[in-house]
Structure formats: structure tokens, C-alpha cells
Structure 1
Amino acid sequence: MPGLASPLNTRVQFLPTATLAALGLVFGLVMGLGAPLFTLDLTDRGYGAGMVAANSMMHAVGALAIAPFMPRLALRFGPKRAIFLALMGGATTLLLFPLSHSIWPWFPLRILLGAFCEVILVLSESWLNQITDNHARGRVMGLYSTLLSIGIALGPALLTLTGRQGNLPFWGTAAFLFLAGAAIMAPWMTSPPPVAPTQQRLLRYLWLAPIAIAATLLIAMLDGAATSFLALYAIQSGWTERAATLLLSIMLLGATFMQVPIGWISDRTNRRYLLITLGFLTCGGALLWPVAIHQPALAYPLLFVWDGAFASMYSVAMAAAGNRYRDGDLIAIYALCSLAWGIGSFTGPAISAAAMQASPHGLALFAATLCGLFALLPLVLKKSV
């Protein structure tokens, strides 16, 4: 019946989109709950900051190790089956942590968990990007990133409900992954057929999608730098510890609330021009930090808007990549973005720490420099967006 075709079609398209977007929320919850859980558990066992940091780095090691093999995994198993296996593997890995009374098995387990999480993130986001029409891609990718951010923020709150003692936090986190596994295998979740990338070497995509990869590198570098040092920057500028922590929270709320509206704008404008605008806007905003940091009434709204515009550069860039590339090529781009994220996460905090030692406003100058350089990329590389 013609009258029923349109609503049914809409529903069929809505269910996979909603399921994959919800997967971003679940992934964020696992990450937000797991990070403090591991840190506090190791601290309770008497290990110092060095051992905690070394164990935390294993997650990044696992993500970096699996990234080059992502296109091959997607081609071998298909996105749906690969995500399901990663969800089951991640849940099983979490159940193994409390069984060990020694710290050493936690290192390979964190590597495994990092690898499984990276498969979930890359393949779910690339799958969502592929099945979304271009006229809605910016909003949908912004929604995915927003739900992921909300999940990360809710994770520590859930930890306070489960408590840190005993096995319940590990079991609860594993339960989220098992539930997500059931959802991903639902009959309406029909994944795109696996298609091999057109380029045999992964690094070739650095020249094919430089804007998306550069956006990932930028976000990773400044995200790690800002979350690590913004509060310290405010304290050194005369803020109390409580006010500085609130400033960081307000900044992160900007990324939560502004990505969908900016995604809506990207669906109705030229994404290249929007990326240039966001790049120069965030560059100018960072240059205002040294002035705003001495005026809280200006600092709070400035950091809120700045982080919203800054975080949106990634979702807009990936929406542009999804419009140009499909199937195995898009998965390969996401895999290369994973490598860029790992590199940025390692280098961003280190460079920003050196910048803060060189100048009282080194963090602001570092952020402005990176955002300004990024704005030049879509300005110069006209055919890459």
C-alpha cells in the first residue's frame, strides 16, 4: 500500500541509526566508568602514579595495534559481525580483571580491551556514516559524538552507584557490552556488504582525506591538553581549585550541546567554508583566553562556545569524508584517524606542558596555533572537502 510505504521506510531507516547512535552512548559509558575504576583499584592496591599511568597507556597500545588491521577485519567479518565479536570480547575481558590478584595480567588485558573498544568505535561510526543521507549526515555524526561524550560523563556517576568494591563494577560494565551485542544482532541491523578499500596501503589515505585525519589529530592533541591542563592554567591565573574544575566542566558541556546544532548548519551549508570558519573562530577564541581568564563572567561562556565549535570540527570533517568515500575506503580513513588519535593523545599533553613552562599563557598560544594551522588546510586544499 503506497500510503504505508513511507512511514515503514522511515522506521526501518530510523532503527539502525538509533541503534548505532546508542552504541556510541554505551561505548562512552564503558570508557567513562572503566578509566576511574582501573585507576582507583590500582591505587587501592598500593601502586603509584607511574604504574597507574603505564597500565592506562596499554589501552592506547591496543587501539594503535589494531587500527592498521581494521579494513581487513571489516572485509573478513563484515561490520555487524566484527562489532558483535568485539562487544563480546570486550565484555569477556572485563570479567577477567577481578579474577587476577596480580597486577601483571592487567597489562595484556588492557591491551585487549583497547583493541576491542577501537573496533567498536571505528566500525560503528563508519557504518553510521555510510547509511546516513548527506542532507542529515552532519546532525547524525554530531549526535553520535554528543552521545559518546554524555556516556563518558555519566560513567563516573554510575561508578558511584555500583561502588568500587567487589566485582559489581566489572560485571555491570560487561553487562552494557552484552546488551549492546544483543542490539547489534537485531534483525533490522543490516550492515553494508564488506567491500575492499581501493588503496592497498593505508597511508595512501593520508593524501586522499587529509582534512578528516588532520581534524582527528587536532582534536586528540587539544582534547588531551585541555582536559589535563586547563584547570591548572586557571589556578595559576588566580582561580580557586573548585572554580577551575567548574570551568573545565562548563567547557566540556559546550561540546555536548553544540555539536548537533553545528551539524545542522553543516547539512545546509558548504562544509569546507564551515570548517574554515570553525578553525579561525577557535583560533581567535583561544587568543582571547589570556584576557578572559581574569574575568570569570567572560571565561565561562567563551570556553563553552569555544569547545563546542572545536569539537564540532571533527564531526563536520567526518561528515564531509562520508559524503566523498564509501565502504572499505571510509573504514580505511577511520582506521588512519585512529592512528592519528593515538599520536595526538600521546603528543598533545607533552607539547602543551612544555608550552606552559615557556609562557604563562602557553596553553592558549598552543591551542590558537593548532586551530589556526588547521583552518589553513581546507582553505588551501580546496578539493579535499
Structure 2
Amino acid sequence: MPQPHMPSATRPLLPLASLMTVALSFGLTYGLSAPLFTLALTDKGYGPQFIAANAIMHAIGVLGLAPFLPRIAARFGPRMPMLLALATLACVLVALPLAPSVWLWFPLRLALGAATEVLLILSESWLNQITTDQTRTRTMGLYSAVLSAGFALGPLILAGVGRHGFTPFGISAAIIVAALVCVAMPWMHAPTLEHAQHSGLWRYVKLAPIAISVTLLMAMLEAAGSSFLTLYAMRNGWAEQNATLLLSAMLIGAITLQFPLGWLGDRFNRRHLMICLGALSCLGALLWPWAITHGVWAYATLFVWDGLFAALYMLAMSVVGSRYHGGDLVSIYAASSVAWGLGAFIGPELAGTALDLGPHGLPYFVSLACGLFTLLPLILKKSA
């Protein structure tokens, strides 16, 4: 029996809340696994090349599955693949501390990458389709904030219970099982995902160049920041512990400012707001060399900067969600995931080169990247 039309005044709050638990699970998996794998392999005596090879398995899982997700979603709908992905994550997290050899971590990490890819693409596209255009941007802002909170939750679990033994894996698996239960609830009526109108992910790069470009930018700068921000601060006289807290300040900014900026996105032209935030991100990065020499101002500057910068993705995907639906929307997210993988590969290399060019090479690289992106919504006025 078809579901009755639900007016915007009575939005599907329970499905929205369930999809937020999926966002939390996605962020938690990333936030927990990245430091845990690195530290555990270091403890076992493995060097950077081995650790990097293990990390690449996650990216291979993402890039390997992305081209097939539109067809999988069209055939089975978003709900069944999401349930399977959540079950896979829970099983992998339970299996990791029990694996008798670190070589088993390679296929397990590949499975993590593929499963998290399913969660991100299908939960965001599902959320976009059940959200009205009047509240789309703030809803996506809340989703982004919960995603960032998941990233923060992983290190908090490690700090609270330690990284040795089964406990951190068991806690994380329990949270993911709770998300699985939420998605399995009867109120989760999945939207129909018709087949995409176009074939090949490259066609969707042409349809949504701004959204896919902002995904590339986000991946580049997030990977660059997580790899080199601490080193940048230490080269400018900071102690290691204080330098590490700069990443926390950025993450808190991304969590705090998404919803209010989403509120603005629902009341003003999203393309114009994207241009403003892009310009502010470009100019704000130029403040880093000043802020890094003024102690507490560095935390405040990076808090505001990352909050503004992270909103670019939210706005771009809100525009895409208002223009495309069903299989086309899933295909755009799949193309964006390929862009994310590419950005995560090239970001650290470009940032490392910039850092070697001078003491403030990192912020200049960030400013240049944000400035180049801002030209896109200025030039491509009718593109998503």
C-alpha cells in the first residue's frame, strides 16, 4: 500500500533520527579505525610504508564499490544495502581484535571501506529525498554535525577505555548495532530509487561539477590538515600536545556551525552563500600565519575557519538534492565518492610539498585551493 503524503509540517522525524544514527556510525568508524590501526601496527614494529599500505585498503574498498552502488540501490533500494553494511561494520569491528595475524587486517579494512561507502552514499541520498526544500540545508547541516561528532567519538572512546583489548571495538560495534536496529524499524519506509537516467559516473561530473569539486576540495584539505596541521604548528614553535588540540578546535567548529549556517542556506540563495563561504575560507586561511603566533587566537581562528569551510559541502549537496532524485542522486554521490578518494590521495602530497616550500606553505596552499574552488560557482551559474 502506498504511503500517504506527509505534509512538511509533520516531517518524518523518526526516519530522520534513524539516518542520523547512520551518520554517527560512519563518523565513528573513521574516527576510531584510523588512529587505532596506525598505533597498533606501530606497536607491532611495522613502519610507515606498511601502515600506508594498510590504509590504502580502505580507499580501495571505497573506490571499488562506488561505481556499482547506483545499480545496487536501484535494484534493492537503500534500506537492505544499509542494513548489510551496518552488519558488516559490526562484524569487522568484533573480528579485528580477534584476528590471529595483521595480514587479515588488509581484507577487513577493505570491507570497512566498502561498508562505510554504502552508508554515506545511501543515507545522504535517502535523507535528501525525504527532506523538503524549505528545510533541506539545515537538515543536511545537522547530518554533517552528527557525522563530525562521530569522528570525535572514536578518539574519545580510545581516550576513555584505552586502545588495547576488546573493549573499544565492542563499544563501537554496540553503537553500530543500535544504528542497525533503528534502520530496521518499521517507520523506515525507503524512497523508491528509479534507475539513473545517464550511464557512467563521468556524465554526473558534468551534471554536478560544483558538488563533485567541493568533495574533492574537502578530501584534499581534510587529509592535508589531519596529516600536517600539527607539524605546521610545531614548526612554528608549538608544543606537540597543544598543536594536536588545533585539530580538535577545527572539529568542534565543524560540529557547532553547521546547523546555523544551514539555517541561513534555507533563507538565502545557496549559490551566493557558497561563494561567500568560499571567499571567507580563502581569506581566512591567510590569517593562519598571524594566528599561529598568538596562542589562543589560533584555536579561535581554526574553529571559525573549519566551521565555514565544512559548510561548503553541506550547501553543495543541498543544491544537488533539490535538483536530482532517485538513481541520479545516488549516482552523483557515487561520483563524489570517487572524487573523495582522489582528493584523499593527492591532498597530503600537495600539502607536504607546500609545507617544505616555507614555514607558512600550508595555509597558502589551503587559501589557493579554496580560492580556485570559489571560481566555480561564480562561473557555472546554472550548475549544481
Asked whether the two chains share a fold, i.e. TM above 0.5, the reply is: yes
Root-mean-square deviation (CA), in Å?
1.9
Secondary structure in 1 matching 2:352: helix
Separation in 2, partners of 1:232, 1:65: 32
Q: How does 1:204-243 map to 2 (within 5 A)?
A: 204-243=203-242
Q: Which amino acid aligns with 2:123?
A: S
Separation in 2, partners of 1:65, 1:313: 26
Secondary structure in 1 matching 2:79: helix
Residue of structure 1 equivalent to 2:24: 25
Contact 1:12 1:188 in 2 (8 A): no
Separation in 2, partners of 1:6, 1:68: 32
* Structure 1 residue 6, shift from structure 2 partner: 12
Separation in 2, partners of 1:90, 1:7: 33
Alignment CA distance shift 1:193-1:6 (3 Å): closer
Which moves more between the two structures, 233-242 or 330-339?
Answer: 233-242
Separation in 2, partners of 1:383, 1:246: 40
* Structure 1 residue 329, shift from structure 2 partner: 0.6
Separation in 2, partners of 1:285, 1:178: 40
Q: Deviations over 1:151-177 (max 9, x none)?
A: 111112213444433333333322222
Structure 1 residue 277 corresponds to structure 2 residue 276 = yes
Secondary structure in 2 matching 1:383: coil
Separation in 1, partners of 2:71, 2:23: 22
Separation in 2, partners of 1:248, 1:165: 24
Q: Which amino acid aligns with 1:44?
A: D
TM-score (norm 2): 0.94
Residue of structure 1 equivalent to 2:66: 67
Instruction: Number of aligned residue pairs: give it.
Output: 381
Which moves more between the two structures, 163-172 or 98-107?
Answer: 163-172
Alignment CA distance shift 1:370-1:128 (3 Å): same
Separation in 2, partners of 1:22, 1:177: 8
Q: How does 1:5-84 map to 2 (within 5 A)?
A: 13-84=12-83
Residue of structure 1 equivalent to 2:170: 171
Contact 1:30 1:176 in 2 (8 A): no
Separation in 1, partners of 2:266, 2:7: 24
Q: Deviations over 1:48-92 (max 9, x none)?
A: 332222212211110111111110110121001110111112222
Residue of structure 2 equivalent to 1:350: 349
TM-score (norm 1): 0.94
Residue of structure 2 equivalent to 1:300: 299
* Structure 2: 5+ residue stretches without partners: none
Which moves more between the two structures, 277-286 or 32-41?
Answer: 32-41
Residue of structure 2 equivalent to 1:381: 380
Residue of structure 2 equivalent to 1:362: 361
Aligned-residue sequence identity (percent) comes to 53
Separation in 2, partners of 1:106, 1:245: 27
